[in-house]
Structure 1
Amino acid sequence: MQPDDRDEIRDLLKRVAVALKQGDVPFALCGGYAAYVRGAPEPDHDADFLVPAAEAERAAKVLAEAGLQVLDPPEDWLTKVVQGASVVDVLWRTCGVPVEADLIDRAEELPVLSVHMPVLQATDIVVTKLMALDEHYCDYARVLPVARALREQVDWATVRDAVAGNDFAVVFLVLLDRLGIVPGPVRAG
Structure 2
Amino acid sequence: MQPSDRDEIRDLLKRTAVALKEGGVPFALCGGYAAWVRGAPEPDHDADFLVPSAEAERAVKILHDAGLQVEDPAEDWLTKVVQGNSFVDVLWRTCGHPVESDLIERAEDRSVLSVHMPVLAATDILVTKLMALDEHYCDFSRLLPVARALREQVDWHTVRREVADNDFAVVFLDLLGRLGVVGEEVGAG
TM over 0.5: yes
SS of the residue 2:118 aligns to: strand
Contact 2:10 2:113 (8 Å CA) reproduced: yes
Q: Identify the residue that residue 23 of structure 1 maps to in structure 2.
A: 23
SS of the residue 1:76 aligns to: coil
* Aligned-residue offset at 1:188: 5.7
Taking structure 1 as the reference length, what is the TM-score of the superposition? 0.98
Q: Identify the residue that residue 177 of structure 1 maps to in structure 2.
A: 177
* Aligned-residue offset at 1:7: 0.4
Contact 2:28 2:119 (8 Å CA) reproduced: yes
Quick one: distance in 2 between partners of 1:110 and 1:183?
A: 28
Number of corresponding residues: 189
Q: Identify the residue that residue 125 of structure 2 maps to in structure 1.
A: 125
Partner letter of residue 147 of structure 1?
A
Quick one: distance in 1 between partners of 2:172 and 2:188?
A: 13
Taking structure 2 as the reference length, what is the TM-score of the superposition? 0.98
Q: Identify the residue that residue 168 of structure 1 maps to in structure 2.
A: 168
**1:54-92 Cα distance to aligned partner (Å, 9 max, x none):** 000000000000000000111010000000000100000
Unaligned runs of 5+ in 2: none
Runs of 4+ in 1 over 4 A off after TM superposition: none
Say yes or no: does 1:152 pair with 2:131: no
Q: Identify the residue that residue 107 of structure 2 maps to in structure 1.
A: 107
Contact 2:176 2:187 (8 Å CA) reproduced: no
Quick one: distance in 2 between partners of 1:71 and 1:114?
A: 26
The alignment-based identity, stated in percent, is 81
Q: Identify the residue that residue 89 of structure 2 maps to in structure 1.
A: 89
Quick one: distance in 1 between partners of 2:104 and 2:173?
A: 25
Unaligned runs of 5+ in 1: none
Contact 1:160 1:188 (8 Å CA) reproduced: no
* Aligned-residue offset at 1:187: 3.9
CA RMSD of aligned residues (A): 0.8
* Aligned-residue offset at 1:183: 2.8
Contact 2:173 2:188 (8 Å CA) reproduced: no
Contact 1:177 1:186 (8 Å CA) reproduced: yes
Quick one: distance in 1 between partners of 2:187 and 2:35?
A: 23
Contact 1:111 1:117 (8 Å CA) reproduced: yes
